[in-house]
Chains A and B, each alone.
Chain A
Amino acid sequence: MSVSAEVGILAPVRPDGSPAGLREALAAGWPELALYLGAGVVYVAIGVAVPELLFTWIVAAGYLLLCVVALPLLTRRLR
């Protein structure tokens, strides 16, 4: 799944600048949202198995960057 740089998670505004509702925002930003939700589910599963990882913000931030920035970038390059 490729995530366009312009499609944000829960894209917030309409083209005219007025604020979008949640349903509209979900429709526009679902690919990125799915990426974050997937990363979250895996993080929870790993955290339950190895709770030591749940204590450190750095680990969580690094893991998130890996899942939502590095892996999609690598996937796009390999295609």
Chain B
Amino acid sequence: MSWAAHDLEPYVVQKHLGKRIAFVPLLVGSYAPDLLSKWFVYGITLIGVELKADNPAQFHRGWPGAGFTHSLAFGVVIGLLLYLIWRNKVVAYSFVIGQWAHALTDTGDTVGSMLLFPFTDHLFAVGAWAYAGQTGRYVDAGAYFSGLGFVWDGIFVVWALLSWRVLTRGYFRETVAVADPFWRWAGRYLSETTLVALYRASFFYGVARWTAWLIWAHVVRSFAFDLRWGGPRWVPRVYADELNAAPACKCPGCCSMRPRLGFYGVVAVCAWGKGRSGSVRAALAEAPRPRRRRKRLKGG
């Protein structure tokens, strides 16, 4: 699981898609997979009764369980429902993009997510940091902010800070509020200063709590840093092959390569694609533009 990445991903997406995305459904989509299940993973006590999943990792990411919320199909189904309700394509696909970002980000830990459910219950896991949700939220926080998880979140903190332009009041007024019907509705009741503060709230939350958890884990408490792949190794970890019915997955992803190699491969392909799109853009910019034929107006 990721802690601050889900707060910050929507701002990075917003920067790249501008008026083609609606921010509120994007943000709700980014939170959606954990919205109704996370409390049961960590457990709560209500009137002296403790409510907690018997197998938190299985409940959170597996099947049977609520792991279907981390599948790509779940985003599409909810997106279609939103489209049926609001008849607004931008709202629908903004939710899908946010939910997909969450599901893909959560493949980073040792449990991963069932991306292709219901076609397969295979858990796609890169295994970069330990899944330790079953240990309770404080140990989980300490473990996450001691392994590569906090580095991953740190990348999103930097990326979101580099996207500072999307936080400006002018950008909100000219891009965010124009593309998202929620802000037009809320603008009837709230001042622009309040709307802008609400728009920035997840950014504030993500950056501030990333900082606070790091200080808490390593200054207030003494959790040991362990930046090895799959770490920290001092915490009891859960692995993808311990969940779901199939003890050993036969899918090509599991048989042909190790997850770490797969991760490097994806990074290499993305870098290659980015470079290629840049060179294509440069070539297009340099190419002579064909002259457009002007329609002759018939004299009247």
Task: List residues of A whose CB falls within 8 A of some B CB.
Answer: 5, 8-13, 19, 22, 25, 29, 36, 39-40, 43-44, 47-48, 51, 54-55, 57, 60-61, 64-65, 68-69
Instruction: Give Cα A13–Cα B170 distance, bound, in whole angstroms.
Output: 7
Interface residue from A9, A54, A57 paired with B167 (Cβ < 8 Å): A9
| Contact (Cβ within 8 A) B196 A8 | yes
Q: Is B226 an interface residue (CB 8 A)?
A: no
**Are B138's CB and A65's CB within 8 A?**
no
Q: Which residue of A lies closest to B196 (CB)?
A: A8
- Asked if A47 and B208 sit within 8 Å, CB to CB, the answer is yes
Given known pairs A10-B168, A11-B168, the reply for A60 and B193 (CB within 8 Å) is no
Q: Does B194 contact A (CB under 8 A)?
A: yes
Which single residue of chain A is at the shortest CB-CB distance from B195? A69
Partner pick for B204 among A10, A11, A12, A39, CB 8 A cutoff: A39
Among B182-211, those with CB < 8 Å from A are 191-194, 196-198, 200-202, 204-205, 207-209, 211
B168 pairs with A64, CB closer than 8 A: no
A11-B169, A43-B204 known; 19 new pairs, CB 8 Å cut-off, are A5-B192, A8-B169, A9-B200, A10-B165, A12-B165, A29-B168, A43-B208, A43-B212, A44-B208, A47-B212, A47-B213, A48-B220, A60-B201, A60-B209, A65-B194, A65-B198, A68-B193, A68-B197, A69-B191
**Chain A interface mostly helix, strand, loop or mixed?**
helix
- Does B159 sit within 8 A of A, measured CB to CB? no
Known contacts A51-B141, A69-B194, A25 near B168 by CB under 8 Å: yes
Please give, as numbers and ranges, the residues of chain A lying within 8 Å of B219 by CB-CB distance.
48
Given contacts A43-B212, A60-B209, contact A12 B138 (CB under 8 A): no
Partner of B208, one of A5, A10, A12, A60: A60
| Residue pair B216, A57 in contact (C-beta under 8 Å) | no
Chain A neighbourhood of B165, CB < 8 A: 10, 12, 19
A68 to chain B, nearest CB (A): 5
CB contacts (< 8 Å) of B201 on chain A: these are: 57, 60-61, 64-65
Complex: how many Å from CA A18 to CA B38?
Answer: 44
Residues of B within 8 A of A40 (CB): 204, 207-208
One digit per residue, 1 when the CB lies within 8 angstroms of any chain A CB and 0 when it does not, for chain B 138-176 equals 100100000000000000000000001101111100000
In the complex, what distance in Å separates the CA atom of A66 from the CA atom of B193? 12
A contact residues around B7 at 8 Å (CB): 57
Tell me whether B197 and A64 are in contact (CB under 8 A).
Answer: yes
- Beta-carbon contact of B194 and A54 below 8 Å: no
Beta-carbon contact of B216 and A51 below 8 Å: yes
Contact of B215 with A by CB under 8 A: yes
In the bound complex, CA of A25 to CA of B127 (Å): 41
Instruction: For residue B151, give the distance in angstroms from its CB to the closest CB of chain A.
Output: 19
**Cα–Cα distance between A18 and B12 once the two chains are bound (Å):** 21
A12 contacts B170, CB within 8 Å? Answer: yes
Chain A residues with CB below 8 A from B169, complex form: 8-9, 11-12, 29
Query: B19 in the interface, Cβ–Cβ < 8 Å?
Result: no
Q: Collect the chain B residues with CB atoms within 8 Å of residue A60's CB.
A: 201, 204-205, 208-209
Alpha-carbon distance A58/B207, docked complex (angstroms): 15
Q: Is the CB of B170 within 8 A of A11?
A: yes
Closest to A42 in B: B208
